[in-house]
């Protein structure tokens, strides 16, 4: 213990995490000799903190945590979205250690969690695609001095018109068809009359696809914060920030998705009331 304590007290600055540790091959710190792994620094740091708490070096462990939190927050622009897997694991592991040893929430830790969750795990959340007004769609014409495309765009932005008939020469009908995605519109050639006519019918397929992409991105976002639900993180962040960043209250608008996240929160509760840390006044 004496050697460990001496190193911990004398090398706090060297052992403390930096923002860059989340995105480069690990340097060896502490006693464990992790190397050659992208997350080795993070795992080594967590092991040092856990051991310090285990043997009663609470003050030294707290000082190391606070300095690490300050370092990362001051250089948070160096932590990128691509580090989300490492950061999620780090926060989950840290929550386990802090909960296990009943470490009261502290401002440096609170700032670290809020910063990493907001800037990296949540980042720029997906925007729900706007539901089209009636049959209104975006213009798609060739944007040149084209009479047919001008007529086409007038039809596309019309919210009440679902179909339109273009009675033009074959080359012009072909041009209209070429500027419209074949998987998003329906086409029918009407052969009665001269010239023949092309009937273009709108669908809501693009909106449906955008919703599918949005739902997938929302699921990815929920996965990045999964495992952070629970009483300790709520006590750390406070109700409003916890609801915003962990339960994604302001992002998830779909009732089913919101209920799923709440169920995850209930599954990750950190134990009984008696085991919960007391807040610092």
Q: Which residues of 36-46 are buried (b: 16+ CB within 10 A; e: fewer)?
A: eeebbbbbbbb
Residues 6+ apart with CB under 8 A from 106: 62, 65, 66, 280
**pLDDT given for residue 263 in this prediction:** 58
User: How far is Cα 3 from Cα 210, in angstroms, rounded to an integer?
Assistant: 59
SS3 186: strand
Omega of the bond prior to 195 within 30 degrees of 0, cis?
yes
Q: Are 22 and 87 in contact (CB under 8 A)?
A: yes
CA angle 159, 164, 167 (to 5 degrees): 155
Q: Which regions of the chain are under pLDDT 70?
A: 1, 24-39, 81, 252-281
pLDDT of residue 129: 92
pLDDT digits (tens, 9 = 90+) for 26-53: 444 433 333 445 467 788 889 999 999 9
Cα torsion for 46, 48, 52, 55, to the nearest 10°? 110
pLDDT per residue as tens digits for the range 156-205: 999 999 999 999 999 999 999 999 999 999 999 999 888 999 999 999 99
Taking phi over 0 as left and psi of -120 to 50 as alpha, with beta for the rest, 83 belongs to: alpha
Rounded Cα gap, residues 16 and 20, in angstroms: 12
Report the pLDDT value the prediction gives residue 166, as an integer from 0 to 100. 96
Spell out the SS3 assignment of 113-180.
HHHHHHHHHHCCCCCCCCCCCCCCCCCCCCCCCCHHHHHHHHHHCCCCCCEEEEECCHHHHHHHHHCC
Question: Which residues lie across from 165 on neighbouring strands?
Answer: 199
Half-sphere exposure in the Cβ direction for 14 (13 Å, CA):
10
**Predicted local distance difference test score (pLDDT) of residue 245:** 94
Tokens of 209: 């696809």
Per-residue confidence (pLDDT) for residue 34, from 0 to 100 = 37
């Amino acid at each position: 213990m004496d050697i460990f304590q001496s190193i911990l007290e004398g090398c706090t600055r060297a052992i403390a995490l930096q923002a860059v540790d989340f995105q480069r091959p690990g340097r060896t710190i502490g006693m464990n000799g992790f190397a050659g792994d992208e997350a080795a620094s993070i795992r080594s740091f967590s092991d040092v903190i856990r051991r310090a708490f285990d043997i009663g070096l609470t003050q030294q462990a707290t000082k190391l945590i606070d300095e690490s939190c300050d370092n990362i927050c001051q250089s948070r622009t160096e932590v990128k979205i691509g580090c989300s897997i490492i950061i999620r694991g780090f926060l989950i592991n840290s929550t386990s250690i802090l909960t296990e040893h009943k470490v009261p929430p502290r401002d440096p830790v609170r700032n670290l969690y809020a910063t990493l969750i907001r800037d990296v795990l949540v980042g720029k959340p997906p925007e729900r695609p706007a539901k089209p007004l009636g049959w209104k769609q975006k213009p798609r014409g060739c944007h040149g001095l084209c009479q047919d495309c001008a007529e086409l765009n007038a039809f596309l932005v019309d919210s009440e018109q679902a179909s339109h008939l273009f009675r033009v020469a074959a080359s012009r009908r072909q041009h209209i068809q070429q500027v419209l995605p074949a998987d998003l519109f329906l086409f029918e050639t009407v052969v009665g009359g001269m010239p023949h006519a092309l009937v273009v019918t709108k669908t809501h397929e693009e909106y449906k696809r955008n919703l599918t992409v949005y739902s997938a991105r929302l699921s990815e976002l929920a996965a990045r914060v999964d495992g952070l639900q629970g009483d300790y993180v709520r006590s750390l962040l406070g109700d409003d920030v916890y609801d915003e960043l962990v339960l994604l209250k302001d992002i998830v608008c779909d009732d089913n998705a919101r209920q799923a996240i709440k169920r995850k929160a209930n599954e990750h509760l950190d134990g009984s009331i008696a085991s919960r840390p007391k807040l610092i006044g």
